[in-house]
Structure 1
Amino acid sequence: MRNATVGALAYEFLFEVYRKMDHDRKSGFIQSLPDQNGTQREAFYHEAMGHWEWIGGVLGQVGVLKALQQPPPPPWARPTSMPRNDFSYPVMTLAECGVADFSNFETFDNYCVAMFSFEYLHSHFMSAGGLVDLALRSPSFLNSVASRDDIFRIEGTDRVRFDQARYEEKVMTRWRGRLDNRNIRPKSSA
């Protein structure tokens, strides 16, 4: 069994966060919100879309994203007792993430949570037949993730296929069977 590291997947997720923030900036939809110290930060807004919520959750749990203060709800919104965390900001650059030490998170359960999050993201942007859209992945995806994980089949320098059957066998068997806590946790509390 070959697995990508949680660190390599975190890098891919941060790449996606920056890609979305850049798109939001170009579209005029980026928001700046205060952090815990009142400093204005450009926000990653997951828009309550699962594929961005899950990668944001993983990045928050490994310390790459921090929550921002929530803006007041629109006047038409109903009150809710559920705490919201729709906005966050990256606390490191891609270069910093690429050399960060995530070894305290490298467990199979954490890998399963991270790969579940990747599959959720991938399924949203997937090309026909399970092809990974390499135009959306980072330049290091092929070497850092695809070539190191048996869920991916490399069919050439520009073609990588996500093997759904292998994913089901490896990740979802664990997910459905013995993975009650579906959060990334440090080894000391895993």
Structure 2
Amino acid sequence: MQNATVAALAYELLFEVYRKMDLDRKQGWLLSLPDENGTLHEAFYVEGSGHWEWPAVVLKQIGALKPLYEPNPPRWTTRLPGQSRIFFKPVMTLDECEAANFLRFETFDNYCVAMFSFEYLHGHFAYRAGLVNLDIRSHRFLKSVAPQDDIFAMEGPDCVRFDEARYQEKVMTRWRNGLDDRNIRPKKGA
């Protein structure tokens, strides 16, 4: 069994967050929200979609994103009075993420949560054209994820096929049978 590292998957998730923020910026949807000190930060919004929430939670749990809250959501949102929407601000650049030491998170269960988040995000956009094209991967994908993980089959120097059957066998079997805590947790004693 070959697994990409949690660190490599975290980089890919953060890469997609930055791409989504770039798209939101181009479309005029990117908000700046204050942190606890009142400093404004560009905010990544999960759009109330689990497809973005899973990666955001993974990145929050490893320390790459921090939540920000929109204090007064627009009237058209379906929130209860006084309830705010959650946004996130990146607290790591991609270079910092690439250099970060995530060894304390390198467990098979954490790998399963990270890979589930990665595939869940990819699967969502496979059916929604015009948003973020997840067929475009980071410069690291062909080196740090695809050849390191038996879920991906290299079919040429830059051609990668996702093996759905292997994903189901490896990740989803664990997901359905015993992975009750679906959060990224540091190794015990780390």
Shared topology, TM-score over 0.5?
A: yes
Which amino acid is the alignment partner of residue 22 of structure 2? D
Which amino acid is the alignment partner of residue 45 of structure 2? Y
Partner of 1:173: 173
Partner of 2:39: 39
SS at match of 2:22: helix
Partner of 1:154: 154
* Aligned length, in residue pairs: 185
The alpha-carbon distance between structure 1 residues 162 and 39, as it changes in their structure 2 partners (threshold 3 A), is same
CA distance, structure 1, for counterparts of residue 49 and residue 147 of structure 2: 29
Which amino acid is the alignment partner of residue 123 of structure 1? G
Partner of 1:117: 117
SS at match of 1:111: helix
Partner of 1:103: 103
Say if 2:63 is the partner of 1:63. yes
The alpha-carbon distance between structure 1 residues 189 and 55, as it changes in their structure 2 partners (threshold 3 A), is farther
Matches within 5 A, 1:72-111: 72-77=72-77, 80=80, 86-111=86-111
CA distance, structure 1, for counterparts of residue 84 and residue 157 of structure 2: 41
Task: Kindly state the Cα deviation for residue 78 of structure 1 after the two structures are TM-superposed.
Answer: 5.1
CA distance, structure 2, for counterparts of residue 126 and residue 18 of structure 1: 19
Task: Kindly state the Cα deviation for residue 95 of structure 1 after the two structures are TM-superposed.
Answer: 0.5
The alpha-carbon distance between structure 1 residues 50 and 136, as it changes in their structure 2 partners (threshold 3 A), is farther
The alpha-carbon distance between structure 1 residues 31 and 76, as it changes in their structure 2 partners (threshold 3 A), is closer
CA distance, structure 2, for counterparts of residue 47 and residue 77 of structure 1: 11
After superposition, the CA RMSD in angstroms is 2.2
Aligned residues of 2:72 and 2:84 also touching (Cα < 8 A): no
SS at match of 2:115: helix
Partner of 1:141: 141
Structure 1: 4+ residue segments shifted above 3 A:
76-81
**Gap runs ≥5 in structure 2:** 128-132
Q: Using structure 2 for the length normalisation, give the TM-score.
A: 0.90
CA distance, structure 1, for counterparts of residue 114 and residue 154 of structure 2: 20
Identity, % of aligned positions: 65
CA distance, structure 2, for counterparts of residue 167 and residue 79 of structure 1: 36
CA distance, structure 2, for counterparts of residue 183 and residue 85 of structure 1: 21
* 1:54-112 Cα shifts (integer Å, max 9, x gaps): 1111000100000112231223445549x765301100110010010000000000000
Q: Using structure 1 for the length normalisation, give the TM-score.
A: 0.90
The alpha-carbon distance between structure 1 residues 79 and 161, as it changes in their structure 2 partners (threshold 3 A), is closer
